[in-house]
Amino acid sequence: MAGAKEIRTKISSIKSTQKITSAMEMVAASKMRKAQDRMAASRPYAQKMRQVIGHVALANPEYKHPFMTPREVKRIGYIIVSSDRGLCGGLNTNLFRALVREIRKEREAGREISYCLVGNKALGFFRRVGGNVRAQVTHLGDAPELEALIGPVKVMLDAFVDGEIDEIRLAYNEFVNTMTQRPTIQTLVPLPPGEDAEELKHHWDYIYEPDAQQVLDSLLQRYIESIAYQAVVENGACEMAARMVAMKSATDNAGSLIDELQLVYNKARQAAITQEISEIVSGAAAVS
Amino acid sequence: MAMTIHVDIVSAEGQLYSGQGEMVYAPAVMGEIGIAPRHAPLVTPLKPGEVRIDPGQGKPQEHFYVSGGLIEVQPFRVTVLADTGVRAADLDEAAALEAKRRAEDALATRASEMDLAKAQAELAEAVAQLRAIERLRKQKKT
């Protein structure tokens, strides 16, 4: 009965792994739902802000905020949003691959690159890649808070104002649906011009207290933070969705592995029994 | 029925309130303001303080504490864009310095988590290589 015991041990170890992966799948599913709710909850804020910024920017053409004036791009700062933990399929890898491709192209064009990293995985990866890391934040948890992002985002905005970088880009995973997460890289600063210029043609304006410039300053800073926050929340939902799918396929794979091993085990057992019977029969034949 | 104004209080982390009110009081930086329906369009930053909404019809006032933010007023709509925490220039500065320091720390010291991430990446590479070798072997056999 060669190997039967080993096979049995292997089956039971795979079974316990399967239990873990299926539990992780269920946990990820429920966390994903919560993350999606958070995603929806933070949307009206950014929307409202975009509206007001559109108004203010159009009403005050003489005051151009630095965040709204594009300049020649020589140095680019990337804010890269990744997950803290692994076991979520190719989520981070896909994003990093897209980023590395883009960064290589920008470097060939003679542009300097620096980073602001969110999440452990980005930290580990971009340390290996090399480059100037300006700021980082990790361990945001399942319910990230906006406060945690104020610092890192401010580092990048300050660098932009001081002319150390000419453009800030934001890289994160966009949540399309449970099965699909799309790596996205978008330009954060300078802000693209407002799209809803048409409806604001008619003449009316806000009263600004104390003045338009200050209002615009604090608006823009909060707006950019809220976009970064939205990206973090969305990436969180992606992480959970990707983990759920990865764990589901791991559970399925464990199931088919168990089936295969069970078959091998049964065959080994059968062979041992057959051998035993033939030994007994031939022994009896020799005696009689 | 008395005229009402629609009030939304939103923060980056979610919606706090949405409903009608006869009067809204907010702590603007220049002093507390009261907003009635048909108020002129206005944008102003808020100080930490209380936003009160008078729903009318004898209902009790609604109170919300905001730690700053902005308020946008249109004739029949008030939107409070609330901050989720106390904001001040020096606090923001401290947060920025903290983020910078963390980046420097992570780069200077070989933190154990970083090594773990690195090891994981190397492990993934090794597994991929092994798989490729296995595939090559199978091809040779057939």
Task: Clarify whether residues B60 and B99 are in a common domain.
Answer: no
- pTM listed for this prediction: 0.82
Mean pLDDT rounded to a whole number for chain A: 87
Known catalytic residue: A238?
A: no
Residue B140 is encoded by which pair of tokens?
A: 């040779």
pLDDT top residue among B119 and A49: A49
Instruction: Give A69-98 as a DSSP string.
Output: -----SEEEEEEE--SS--STTHHHHHHHH
Among B73, B88, B103, the domain boundary falls at B88
pLDDT at B112: 56
From the list B14, B6, B10, the residue with the least C-alpha distance to B80 is B10
Instruction: Name the residue range of residue B133's domain.
Output: 92-141
Residues of chain A in contact with residue B97, where contact means CB-CB under 8 angstroms, are 151
Task: Clarify whether residues B69 and B111 are in a common domain.
Answer: no
Contact between A218 and B99 using a beta-carbon 8 Å cutoff: no
Q: Point out the residue among A116, A133, A207 whose CB comes nearest to the CB of B41.
A: A207
Task: Clarify whether residues B33 and B74 are in a common domain.
Answer: yes
Task: Clarify whether residues B76 and B13 are in a common domain.
Answer: yes
Contact between A218 and B83 using a beta-carbon 8 Å cutoff: no
| pLDDT tens digits, one per residue of A217-242 | 888 888 898 889 999 999 999 999 99
| pLDDT tens digits, one per residue of B74-119 | 888 898 998 876 666 777 778 888 888 887 777 666 555 556 666 7
Q: Per the structure, how many domains does chain B have?
A: 2
Task: Clarify whether residues B54 and B106 are in a common domain.
Answer: no
CA distances in angstroms from A149 to A113, A144, A230, B26, B89, listed in the order given: 21, 9, 11, 27, 15
**Closest residue on chain A to B114 (Cα):** A124
pLDDT at B115: 64
On whether ipTM exceeds 0.90, the answer is no
CATH classification at residue B41: 2.60.15.10
Dihedral sign computed on CA atoms, order A181, A187, A189, A194: negative
Task: Clarify whether residues B106 and B42 are in a common domain.
Answer: no
Residues in chain A: 288
pLDDT top residue among B9 and A205: B9
CA distances in angstroms from A136 to A232, A240, B103, listed in the order given: 13, 22, 5
Task: Clarify whether residues B49 and B116 are in a common domain.
Answer: no
Task: Clarify whether residues B69 and B104 are in a common domain.
Answer: no
Chain B contact for A272 (CB, 8 A cutoff): no
Residues of chain A in contact with residue B29, where contact means CB-CB under 8 angstroms, are 209-210
Task: Clarify whether residues B46 and B26 are in a common domain.
Answer: yes
pLDDT at B111: 55
User: Mean per-residue pLDDT for A46-71?
Assistant: 77
**Closest residue on chain A to B15 (Cα):** A41
